[in-house]
Amino acid sequence: MSIRNLAFNMFVIVLATSFIALSIGTVSAEHKIEKQSFGKVADGTSVELYTLKNKNGVTAKFMTYGAALVELHVPDRDGKMADVTLGFDSLEGYLSDRNQHYGCTVGRVCNRIAKAQFELDGKTYKLAVNNGPNSLHGGEERPLDEVVWKATPLPEHKQGAAIRFNYKSPDGEEGYPGTLKVGVTFILNDKNELRIVYRATTDKRCPVNLTNHAYWNLAGAGSPTILDHELTLKASNYTPVDDTLIPTGEIASVKGTLVDFRKPQRIGARIDKLTETNTGGYDHNFVLDRKNDDKKNGDDKDARKMSLAAKLRDPASGRVLEVLTTEPGIQFYSGNFLKGVEGKQSKKYPYRSGLCLETQHFPDSINQPNFPSIVLEPGKIYQQTTVYRFSAE
């Protein structure tokens, strides 16, 4: 082969390789997916960080540890970008006791299960006791937010820049029955929406209730408070709780209570009256104003409509977050246990400097027969969708 032909062949190979890399990493000239190393967990497993961008410059970062949202940069009314979700600059922070479920995918069952146990098909299943007498957010050794997921970039996704995370939870992990195959897809579109699609299957009957545990501060992560944010919740009812924050089983009206957010309310307006109560502030599950008739949880034929659940507004920046979901409930948590740890860019996250809006089925549903079921049947598919829509006023 002549030197000229060899050089030409090498050029073709380099060009083809570049094209392949571009097709993997780029949805279009404006939608980009980038990958980088984010460290290793204790057993040596590598953790990857993926960056998604839309044509408006909105940027979201996700890591394979906990299928977690690490950063989300959105514009204010003047077009100035800020990262509006709490977290850490490195994996080390997420592996430490400073991590309070920042941005992670929570499960198998999010929120609380009473007395860390449930009965299914005549058998009692014991779970990790990690929140008073109860079990919280899937356990403590290998809940979904403390394992490394497999990531698959989806450069050809028609809705925008997208990435899917998958994890196979073996039968008995954290005390739960059945081998659960879980998939979470994050899609960032040009409407400045972050869409999260959850999907799971099992080989045994088991409870499933997934959510994302992002902490929001629309003034920017590290801003001192969320008490000046205005919140609206599309919920006429909520589920009162006992002293250990387990629902009593009652579906109660919010009318005339401190948890009535049917009209926009400044979060700090009434929160002091809740500080010395069992919730320590806002930490309530709200029953969204929709028909809760999804008794066949996870059935593909049981298509539930997406509807607006919450609207959050920061008057100073003008940033607005709307939360839409197919789920029957949303947990509003006002960051009552944030303790001033150091987060991204050495900024501190003090008491009530971030809030969570966790779309989900109701807490302790597995032990509450009058709540919508969270039992997934073999051969059926658990599927739900939540959208975080950002804008500015």
Rg, C-alpha atoms of the chain: 22
Residue 75 to residue 58: CA distance in whole angstroms: 8
Task: Give the pLDDT confidence of 108-154 residue by residue, as tens digits.
Answer: 999 999 999 999 999 999 999 999 999 999 999 999 999 999 999 99
Residue 25 to residue 156: CA distance in whole angstroms: 10
Burial of 361 per CB tally in 10 Å (0-12, 13-18, 19+): buried
Whether domain 32-392 has CATH 2.70.98.10: the reply is yes
Q: Is 361 a catalytic residue?
A: no
Q: What is the pLDDT along the chain (393 residues), one digit of tens a residue?
A: 444 444 444 433 333 333 333 334 444 555 789 999 999 999 999 999 999 999 999 999 999 999 999 999 999 999 999 999 999 999 999 999 999 999 999 999 999 999 999 999 999 999 999 999 999 999 999 999 999 999 999 988 889 999 999 999 999 999 999 999 999 999 999 999 999 999 999 999 999 999 999 999 999 999 999 999 999 999 999 999 999 999 999 999 999 999 999 999 999 999 999 999 999 999 999 999 975 444 444 433 334 689 999 999 999 999 999 999 999 999 999 999 999 999 999 999 999 999 999 999 999 999 999 999 999 999 999 999 999 999 999
| Residue 209, beta-bridge partner list | 109
Residue 147 to residue 188: CA distance in whole angstroms: 24
pTM of the shown model: 0.89
Residue of 213, 229, 284, 361 marked active site? 213
Task: Give the pLDDT confidence of 272-307 residue by residue, as tens digits.
Answer: 999 999 999 999 999 999 754 444 444 333 346 899
Q: Is 358 a catalytic residue?
A: yes
Residue of 174, 327, 358, 361 marked active site? 358
